């Protein structure tokens, strides 16, 4: 599953190509991946692209937002004027550059400005949801502090561990405690710290 650094890289690239453009069409190939009415999105302008934890957020006009979660192997491909441009790739997603689109794994196609954004997801775990500002705030409030932000510190981590008897790896993966960390970064950080992933968090000193 893509984790905070990968999703942030995608956010930066998407913001560059999508900011200021208008959503002119939405084609849903799998209703599960985009359950809302397309009429609520068409005509809205993308103000900017943000990220919280592993979520991508397309800020739209009229207090609307598109939340995108790529889950295990989601992929976004931006094509402008019929030529493949920026490709945002997660793990081993397909198709690769040069493959025909839409692909078998394409679930949603967003017509934006003069281009199209293809949302591909092989296993149908990923999704796109339209939410208003108040719904977005409620959703984002569920997440804990992110590493490398001012809200995250040694004392913050110490407090989380002190009050938990769960395995330290499970604590690191708990998005309500620490947002954005997945299996890879949790495993690597514990390995480098020489900490047994199964040890109870409150046993650490």
Q: Give me the pLDDT at residue 83, please.
A: 57
Q: What is the pLDDT of residues 122-147, one digit of tens each?
A: 889 999 999 999 999 999 999 999 99
Q: Is the pLDDT of residue 96 over 70?
A: no
pTM of the model: 0.88
Q: For the ranges 98-102, 103-107, 196-200, which has the lowest average pLDDT?
A: 98-102
In whole numbers, what is the pLDDT of the chain averaged over residues? 90
The DSSP letter of residue 151 is T
Domain boundaries, the chain: 4-140, 154-198
66 φ/ψ angles, rounded to the nearest 5 degrees: -105, 115
pLDDT tier at 72, thresholds 50, 70, 90: confident
Q: Where are the alpha helices (DSSP H) in the chain?
A: 4-18, 133-140, 154-162, 168-173, 183-192
CATH topology of domain 4-140: N-terminal domain of MutM-like DNA repair proteins (3.20.190)
| Residue closest to 74 by CA, chosen among 90, 56, 59 | 90
Enumerate residues 6+ apart whose C-beta is below 8 A from 158.
Answer: none
Helix (H, G, I), strand (E, B) or coil at 34: coil
Q: Give me the pLDDT at residue 92, please.
A: 39
């Amino acid at each position: 599953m893509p984790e905070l650094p990968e999703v942030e890289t995608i956010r930066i690239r998407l913001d560059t190509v999508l900011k200021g453009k208008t959503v002119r069409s939405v084609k849903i190939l799998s209703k599960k991946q985009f359950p809302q009415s397309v009429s609520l999105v068409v005509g809205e302008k993308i103000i900017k692209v943000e990220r919280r934890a592993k979520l991508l957020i397309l800020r739209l006009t009229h207090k609307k937002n598109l939340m995108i979660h790529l889950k295990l192997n989601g992929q976004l491909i931006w094509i402008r004027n019929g030529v493949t441009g920026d490709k945002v790739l997660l793990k081993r997603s397909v198709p690769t550059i040069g493959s025909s689109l839409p692909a078998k794994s394409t679930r949603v196609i967003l017509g934006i400005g003069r281009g199209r954004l293809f949302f591909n997801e092989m296993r149908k775990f990923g999704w796109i949801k339209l939410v208003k500002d108040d719904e977005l705030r409620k959703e984002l409030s569920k997440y804990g502090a992110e590493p490398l932000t001012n809200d995250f510190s040694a004392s913050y981590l110490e407090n989380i561990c002190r009050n938990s008897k769960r395995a330290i790896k499970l604590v690191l993966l708990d998005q309500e405690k620490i947002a954005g960390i997945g299996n890879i970064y949790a495993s690597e950080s514990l390995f480098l710290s020489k900490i047994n992933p199964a040890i109870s968090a409150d046993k650490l000193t």
